[in-house]
Amino acid sequence: MQNIQLKVQNNQTENKKGLKERSYHYALEIIALTNHLPKQDQAAIVIYKQLIRSATSIGANIIEAQAGSSRKDFTNFFSYALKSANESKFWLGLLKDSGKIDSGRAGGLLNETAELANILASSIITLKGRRSL
């Protein structure tokens, strides 16, 4: 029984570490993407600044959640991270649909954003002890 509890604790620790690392690498990908956007295009500048803010906020809020002093703190920071992921989907969609970035690269980033959002939403549901938000 103790062996099973240790495995569950190890999996939870690995999942938290994996989410933190995944959100960090995601933010790096977004930064790399925005470095290649046209610097003279005013719309692109506004959108990529917003995208950088929202994309980097995902990982920052995950780290804040892990430092939270209560379950409610943890849940709140995961909620902020989820909101940032949803905002990032919006900005990436605008860049893709306006033709400012390659649709293939945008598609990959949109998929990763959706996966991060799904993980966060599932975690929030579990933390709140409900089946739906």
Whole-angstrom distance, CA of residue 128 vs CA of residue 133: 9
Which of the pair, 77 or 1, is modelled with greater confidence? Answer: 77
pLDDT at 16: 54
How far apart are the C-alpha atoms of 127 and 116, rounded to whole Å?
Answer: 16
How far lies 43's CA from each of 33, 48, 50, 60, 98, in Å?
A: 15, 9, 11, 26, 10
Per-residue pLDDT tens digits for 7-29:
434 444 445 569 999 999 999 99
Tens-digit pLDDT profile for residues 37-63 = 777 889 999 999 999 999 999 999 999
86-119 tens-digit pLDDT: 999 999 999 999 999 989 999 999 999 999 999 9
Q: In this structure, what token pair is assigned to residue 24?
A: 């960090």
pLDDT of residue 86: 98
72-102 burial, b at 16+ Cβ within 10 Å, e below that, comes to: eebbbbbbbbbbbbbbbbebbebbbeeebbe
The two three-digit tokens of residue 3, written as one number: 């062996």
Distance CA 63, CA 42 (A): 32
pLDDT at 6: 40
- What is the predicted pLDDT for the residue at 36? 80
CATH architecture of 2-128: Up-down Bundle (1.20)
